[in-house]
């Protein structure tokens, strides 16, 4: 019975004028802002990967876009922070080129790959394709260790391509077409690391909101259409 009135149980424990963070470690509400606990918080942290692992499918990250409010975040976003930094650094080496399109590959059941594609669509303003490479939800290397969810990234530029390809659980090969390929450390982030990153800044993560708004522009090779989200929902959030 207490779980049905969690807000009433929590409210007396809160200090006035103190930031409140709510984290759902397992399944999360469809609309965190409208949830009784979420309404008390300045930051609401969900995990769409946990929702997918619980059998809810991979649509959770698309529902985040429909109900998004400032203060919302998702651990699939912080899981790809090192990848975003590495890709940005690689693109700096082709600063004079025009980017024409991009492709992101990874497990079909990992929403981290979806939000990565949405981020590229928003930031680059070019066609972005999200590919499912047939690997399990948590891809493993030859040693049985979990690898980064984004297995391969290709950025097509006017003067060549920039590619990031996962080698194993600790490294990724970076090819920019400028000089020789390099191998850089990149491992799969644990929940604790992602949560620590989220708690280091309590202001709204606007970059995450922008990446969510890039999701409908992402295409899949299966149907050549935007990622699965109802058209009416796309219209309602414009």
The contacts found for 91-97 with CB under 8 angstroms, 24 or more apart, are: 91/155, 91/162, 93/162, 93/176, 93/178, 94/157, 94/159, 94/160, 94/162, 94/176, 94/177, 94/178, 96/159, 97/157, 97/158, 97/159, 97/160
- The verdict on 149 and 88 lying in the same domain is yes
Number of domains in the chain: 2
Query: For residue 236, is pLDDT > 90?
Result: no
Task: Report the alpha-carbon distance of residue 141 to residue 107 in Å, rounded.
Answer: 14
Category of 134 on φ-ψ map: left (φ > 0), alpha (ψ -120 to 50) or beta = left
**87 and 148 both lie in a single domain:** yes
Does 190 have pLDDT greater than 50?
A: yes
The pair of three-digit structure tokens given for residue 100, joined into one six-digit string: 């024409």
Cα-trace Rg, the chain: 19
Kindly state the average pLDDT of the residues 154-168.
96
- Report residue 32: phi and psi, to 5°: -60, -35
Domain boundary among 142, 161, 185: 185
The span from the CA of 193 to the CA of 171, in Å, is 18
Mean pLDDT of 66-94: 95
Q: Pick 221 or 170 by higher pLDDT.
A: 170
Q: Which domain holds residue 110?
A: 78-185
Confidence of residue 57 (pLDDT cuts 50, 70, 90): low
Whether 197 and 108 map to the same domain: the answer is no
Domain co-membership, 167 together with 213: no
| One domain for residues 136 and 166 | yes
Q: Which of 4-8, 16-20, 185-189 has the highest mean pLDDT?
A: 185-189
For Cα atoms 124, 121, 153, give the angle at the middle one, nearest 5 degrees.
Answer: 85
Full-model pTM: 0.88
Confidence of residue 235 (pLDDT cuts 50, 70, 90): very low
The number of beta carbons lying within 10 Å of the beta carbon of residue 73 is: 26
Largest interatomic CA distance in the chain: 63
């Amino acid at each position: 019975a207490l779980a049905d009135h969690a807000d009433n149980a929590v409210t007396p424990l809160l200090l006035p004028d103190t930031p409140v963070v709510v984290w759902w470690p397992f399944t999360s509400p469809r609309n965190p802002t409208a949830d009784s606990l979420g309404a008390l918080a300045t930051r609401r942290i969900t995990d769409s990967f946990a929702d997918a692992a619980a059998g809810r499918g991979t649509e959770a990250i698309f529902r985040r876009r429909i109900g998004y409010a400032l203060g919302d975040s998702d651990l699939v976003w912080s899981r790809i922070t090192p990848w975003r930094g590495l890709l940005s650094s690689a693109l700096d080496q082709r600063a004079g080129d025009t980017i024409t399109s991009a492709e992101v590959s990874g497990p079909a059941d990992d929403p981290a790959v979806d939000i990565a594609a949405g981020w590229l669509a928003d930031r680059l303003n070019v066609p972005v394709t999200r590919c499912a490479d047939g690997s399990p939800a948590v891809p493993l290397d030859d040693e049985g260790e979990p690898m980064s969810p984004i297995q391969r990234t290709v950025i097509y530029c006017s003067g060549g391509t920039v590619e990031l390809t996962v080698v194993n659980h600790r490294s990724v090969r970076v090819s920019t077409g400028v000089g020789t390929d390099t191998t850089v450390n990149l491992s799969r982030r644990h929940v604790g690391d992602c949560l620590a990153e989220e708690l280091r800044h309590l202001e709204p993560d606007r970059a995450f909101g922008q990446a969510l708004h890039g999701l409908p522009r992402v295409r899949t090779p299966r149907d050549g259409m935007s990622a699965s989200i109802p058209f009416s929902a796309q219209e309602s959030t414009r």
